[in-house]
């Protein structure tokens, strides 16, 4: 088995998704040099950061965290591109674990009942073959030992890509696109919503709208990356 893997690595070596250099055995996804360049968030506060502040007056959020800062053309953009469009589900799991270790000791996390991936519409899910947010959730689950609950929060209409849309256009593009299939399942629960990237907050706000009407629900947010 090790011999076979050695041959595969010889003829089809794993390469860094950013600089295209061959990875050594101890490296995953990106090489050590690119790893050192990662714009990792310092998450100065999980209860009063730029995600929560951007949602003030829109949605009441108890907790928010993210792993990477996003800048156009940078490493983070490449990571997200491979995760979403190159069938690299392993990237979601890998960085989901990183996120998990970052937040594992936080009070809100210790009280979370379910990890809930932000859903894709069934048409997009069928086309892509997987939900990148669900892959991140799997990594979180491995570290936090909190169950992932899919298929109760549902996206009921497909939307065009959010890229290059203005803030109001993004809101009108996603509003009223989510429903909760069985509200009783979320009653009196602390939920950790998971998505790949936070931009204007329009998608996550729409996602939270059907949740905030459920009795005694508390919401935390986790993202692989945040833009801006």
- Mean pLDDT (whole number) for 151-180: 65
Same domain, 83 and 155: yes
Contact by Cβ (8 Å): 198, 228: no
The two tokens of residue 59 are 């949605």
pLDDT at 177: 86
pLDDT at 43: 76
Same domain, 44 and 9: no
pLDDT at 163: 47
Contact by Cβ (8 Å): 23, 35: no
Place of tokens 């996120």: 99
- Mean pLDDT (whole number) for 26-38: 95
pLDDT at 135: 98
Contacts of 77 (CB under 8 A, 6+ apart): 70, 71
Contact by Cβ (8 Å): 68, 221: no
Judged against a pLDDT cut of 70, whether residue 32 lies above it is answered with: yes
- Mean pLDDT (whole number) for 21-46: 92
Question: Minimum mean pLDDT among 30-44, 144-158, 165-179: which range?
Answer: 165-179
Mean pLDDT computed over every residue of the chain? 88
Judged against a pLDDT cut of 70, whether residue 191 lies above it is answered with: yes
Q: How many CA atoms lie within 13 A of 77 on its CB side?
A: 7
- Mean pLDDT (whole number) for 146-173: 69
CA 188 from centroid of its chain's CA atoms: 24
- 37-57: b (≥16 Cβ within 10 Å) or e: ebeebeeeebeebebbebbee
For CA atoms 30, 35, 41, 44, the dihedral sign is: positive
Same domain, 157 and 52: yes
pLDDT digits (tens, 9 = 90+) for 36-95: 999 999 877 898 899 999 999 889 999 999 999 998 899 999 999 999 999 999 999 999
User: How far are the Cα atoms of 32, 52, 114 from residue 166, in angstroms, in the given order?
Assistant: 37, 20, 32
Question: Minimum mean pLDDT among 109-113, 114-118, 170-174: which range?
Answer: 170-174
How many independent structural domains does the chain possess?
A: 2
C-alpha dihedral, 32 to 139 to 77 to 196, nearest 10°: -160
- Mean pLDDT (whole number) for 198-202: 90
Of 2 and 21, the structure prediction assigns the larger pLDDT to 21
Give me the domain span that covers residue 12. Answer: 1-37
Residue 16 φ/ψ, nearest 5 degrees: -65, 130
Judged against a pLDDT cut of 60, whether residue 174 lies above it is answered with: no
Same domain, 32 and 47: no
Same domain, 173 and 159: yes
> Could you give the CA distance from residue 118 to residue 195 in angstroms, rounded to a whole number?
6
Same domain, 65 and 157: yes
Contact by Cβ (8 Å): 140, 81: no
pLDDT at 45: 85
pLDDT at 48: 86
- Mean pLDDT (whole number) for 30-40: 96
Same domain, 82 and 145: yes
């Amino acid at each position: 088995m090790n011999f076979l893997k050695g041959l595969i690595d010889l003829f089809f070596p794993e390469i860094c998704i950013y600089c295209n250099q061959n990875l050594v055995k101890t490296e995953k996804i990106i090489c050590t040099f690119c790893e050192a360049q990662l714009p990792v968030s310092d998450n100065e506060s999980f209860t009063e950061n730029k995600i929560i502040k951007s949602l003030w007056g829109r949605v009441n959020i108890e907790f928010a965290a993210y792993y990477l800062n996003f800048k156009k053309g940078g490493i983070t953009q490449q990571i997200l591109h491979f995760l979403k469009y190159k069938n690299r589900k392993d990237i979601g799991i890998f960085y989901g674990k990183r996120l998990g270790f970052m937040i594992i000791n936080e009070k809100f996390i210790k009280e979370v009942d379910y990890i809930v991936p932000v859903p894709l519409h069934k048409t997009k899910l069928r086309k892509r073959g997987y939900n990148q947010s669900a892959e991140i959730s799997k990594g979180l689950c491995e570290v936090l030992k909190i169950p992932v609950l899919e298929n109760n929060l549902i996206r009921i209409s497909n939307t065009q890509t959010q890229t290059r849309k203005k803030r109001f256009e993004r809101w009108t593009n996603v509003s009223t696109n989510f429903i909760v299939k069985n509200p009783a399942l979320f009653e009196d629960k602390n939920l950790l919503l998971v998505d790949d990237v936070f931009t204007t907050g329009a998608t996550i706000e729409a996602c939270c709208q059907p949740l905030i009407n459920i009795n005694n629900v508390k919401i935390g947010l986790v993202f692989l990356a945040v833009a801006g």
